[in-house]
Amino acid sequence: MLLPIDPPDVRRADLIRVAGDREWEQWTSVPGPVLESVTGADAEALVRLVSELPDAGMMRCYHPVYALRVHGAEGVLFEIAFCFRCHNALGFAGGAQATLEGFDPDSPAGQELRRRFRAADPNAAGREPAS
């Protein structure tokens, strides 16, 4: 996936469970609680996982369950909300128009990213989330 920054610019990454209004066309930021925040090398590793996600064909549902909000020294650098069911990721960066891209959730990077989200989500224990 194309990222707007390099991992060394990352200060913190928040793993988010998407909540509230699913009308993503209206979002200016991803709604939902932060499940976990990581800093330093852990935050950079999450961004690297996203950068390693291969492109894939996009499907139609787009009901994201998880998102990543990445912070730099000056505030939020970007946010990406992932739908692991339809292979779509919605990215926001620097107030620009949100863009929807396809990714492969079954790739090693996709599987590890999903594992990280689920490990941080107390609601995911023992069941498969919708996306």
Q: Give pLDDT tens digits for 41-90.
A: 999 999 999 999 998 887 888 889 999 999 998 889 999 999 999 999 98
Q: What is the mean pLDDT of residues 104-127?
A: 89
Radius of gyration of the chain (CA): 13
Q: Supply the DSSP symbol for 14.
A: E
Query: Do residues 31 and 20 touch, judged by C-beta distance below 8 A?
Result: yes
Phi, psi of 34 (to 5 degrees): -80, 125
> What's the pLDDT score for residue 111?
96
Query: Do residues 101 and 2 touch, judged by C-beta distance below 8 A?
Result: yes
pLDDT band, very low/low/confident/very high, at 2 (cuts 50, 70, 90): low
Taking CA atoms, 17 is separated from 14, 85, 107, 110, in Å, by 10, 15, 21, 17
| pLDDT, greater one: 130 or 40 | 40
pLDDT at 127 over 60: no
Token match 């939902």: residue?
A: 32
* CATH class of domain segment(s) 7-122: alpha beta
> What's the pLDDT score for residue 7?
63
pLDDT band, very low/low/confident/very high, at 105 (cuts 50, 70, 90): very high
CA dist 48 and 14 (Å) reads: 14
